[in-house]
Copies of this chain bind each other. A is one copy, B any other.
Amino acid sequence: MPLRRTSLETTTASGLPEFGRLDRATLQTQAYQQLRKAVMGGVFRPGTVITIRAAADALGTSPMPVRAALQRLEAEGALVARGSKRTLEIPNLSIEEYHELRDIRIVLEGLAAERAVANIEAAELQEVERNCRAMQEAADAGDREGYVRANWTFHLSIYRASHMESLVAMIEGLWLRVGPYVQLMMPDRKSMVASMPDHWHMVEALKQRDGRAASQAIADDISHSAVNLMKVLKHR
């Protein structure tokens, strides 16, 4: 679907301004968001090469906005310059690199959870619980794609409750980097269902206003996921 940037001067000849279709965002922003969503969702396998012109064709624009989008993704570590520099690719994380990201995630997401406990409002807590139920349903149904999406929605709703904008942005950057692996971490229905207790612990900790328990539950979830991934990677 070609990206389009609606001009502002689209007023109906007669009267009302006909609220623009709201892609007032620049093309490079749209390109960035689409690519980002794809990376986070695990659409690209590690090692996939992405070129400016190819992505531009796929998105239906000129290379220019895509160049900016890819450079930004590179700056965030979602893409890395290939071997001797020429093209970009989805990084193949070594075990050490993955463990490093895991440890960073534990302290950062732990901090967010702790602050969420302190700052969360009633409406936010209800939404967190709703998101957890949705994740439970996806897990029970063995719907991996739905589970991955629901999992991110759930975690994000907690982190946002910390009301720490920069922190949430940094966490998003980390998820972007582990995105290509999230599908792998949940190979079957069993592993999805097995992840749910950690998540319900988070909800419980939020209700009890227990910061320590909340960050512990986050740490457990991240650790368990990492163990899962190692098992899957070893297995082949």
Chain A residues packing against B (C-beta within 8 Å): 68, 71-72, 75-77, 97, 100-101, 103-104, 107-108, 110-111, 115, 164-167, 169-170, 177
Q: Are B170 and A97 in contact (CB under 8 A)?
A: no
B101 touches A166 (CB 8 A): yes
Chain B contacts for A167, CB-based, 8 A: 100, 103-104
The smallest C-beta distance from A71 to any residue of chain B, in angstroms, reads: 6
**Contacts A71-B72, A75-B72 known; A166 to B108 CB distance under 8 Å?**
no
Partner of A107, one of B72, B100, B107: B107
The answer to whether B75 touches A76 (Cβ under 8 A) is yes
Give the docked Cα–Cα distance between A100 and B170 (Å): 12
Complex contact B104–A170 (CB within 8 A) = yes
> Contacting A108 at CB < 8 Å: which of B97, B108, B177?
B108
Chain B nearest CB, measured from A93 CB (Å): 10
Residues of B within 8 A of A108 (CB): 104, 107-108
User: How far is it, in angstroms, between the C-alpha of A71 and the C-alpha of B76 when the chains are bound?
Assistant: 12
* A166 (CB) vs chain B CBs: closest residue: B100
User: Which of B77, B164, B169 is the one whose CB lies under 8 Å from A166?
Assistant: B77
Cβ–Cβ < 8 Å partners of A169 in chain B: 77
How far, in Å, is A205 (CB) from chain B's closest CB? 18
Q: Provide the residues of chain B in CB contact with A166, threshold 8 Å.
A: 77, 97, 100-101, 104, 177
Contacts of A164 in B (CB 8 A): 100, 103-104
Distance A110 CA – B106 CA, assembled complex (angstroms)? 13
Q: Which residue of B lies closest to A107 (CB)?
A: B107
Minimum C-beta distance from A163 to chain B (A): 9
CB distance from A235 to the nearest CB of B (A): 26
In addition to A68-B71, A104-B170, A170-B170, 20 A-B residue pairs with Cβ atoms within 8 Å of each other are A71-B71, A71-B72, A72-B72, A72-B75, A75-B75, A77-B166, A77-B169, A97-B166, A100-B164, A100-B165, A100-B166, A100-B167, A101-B166, A104-B111, A104-B164, A107-B107, A107-B110, A107-B111, A108-B108, A166-B177
